[in-house]
Amino acid sequence: MTVTINVYLTLKFIMLPPDIAGHPALDLLNTYDTTNDFLRTDEDVIAWLRRKKFLGDAPVPDYAEGTLVNAAIQLREITQAVVRSLLERSVPDVLALNRFLACGTRHLQIICDHSGLRAEDCYDAKTPEQLLARVGQTVADLVIHCEPSAILQCANEGCRLFFYNWSDSGRDRCGWSGCNSRGTV
């Protein structure tokens, strides 16, 4: 006797942008390029947050559909305005960023596990803005600590990806597969 069992799987592939920017705030900018918007759904945002280690494996609160992606796009637009100001060597308007940062709440928690005692920041996630607060903090870090002249947009025609040039190599291309990272400034 032969028994045939048909199993149907539904697979959902989430496309993620290249991880080449060298700074999480610039990686957020790179979620949009000339051909793709990698943040189209709440699930896309969650996948990106997990990839960038902003989220562990814990379940994400059940927000109203579309609110997480809308908040992520808003933060991306804030980031773009701040980065554009830095690239133009002007003082960025940080009012919108500060409003976003004010949504975030965190507290310190002491963890006791097999490796001993350690302190860990815990972030509230009651709202999408709270969930994205750590990403907003990386934007603040970019504004405060990074050298504006090291923030570059790829010089390859047709590519708009951003990257942080940590070296003195003078590279002017992002290094993604089609951009020939050997270009010089």
Residue 106 has pLDDT above 70, yes or no: yes
Residue 11 has pLDDT above 60, yes or no: no
In a domain, 121, yes or no: yes
Containing domain of residue 48, as a range?
24-148
In a domain, 120, yes or no: yes
Q: What is the pLDDT of residue 66?
A: 97
In a domain, 153, yes or no: no
Sort strands 116-123 and 151-153 into parallel, antiparallel or unpaired.
unpaired
In a domain, 159, yes or no: no
Sort strands 151-153 and 162-164 into parallel, antiparallel or unpaired.
antiparallel
Q: What are phi and psi of 108, to 5 degrees?
A: -90, 140
List, as own/partner pairs, every contact residues 138-142 make where C-beta atoms lie below 8 angstroms and the sequence separation is at least 24, other chains included. 138/23, 138/24, 138/25, 138/28, 139/25, 139/28, 139/75, 139/78, 139/79, 139/82, 139/97, 140/97, 140/101, 141/25, 142/23, 142/25, 142/26, 142/82, 142/83, 142/86
**Banded model confidence at residue 15, pLDDT cuts 50, 70, 90:** low
Across the range 30-47, mean pLDDT stands at: 91
Closest CA to 69 of 99, 43, 31, 102: 43
In a domain, 6, yes or no: no
In a domain, 168, yes or no: no
97 neighbors 136 (Cβ within 8 angstroms): yes
In a domain, 15, yes or no: no
In a domain, 92, yes or no: yes
Closest CA to 52 of 158, 155, 176, 136: 136
Domain count, the chain: 1
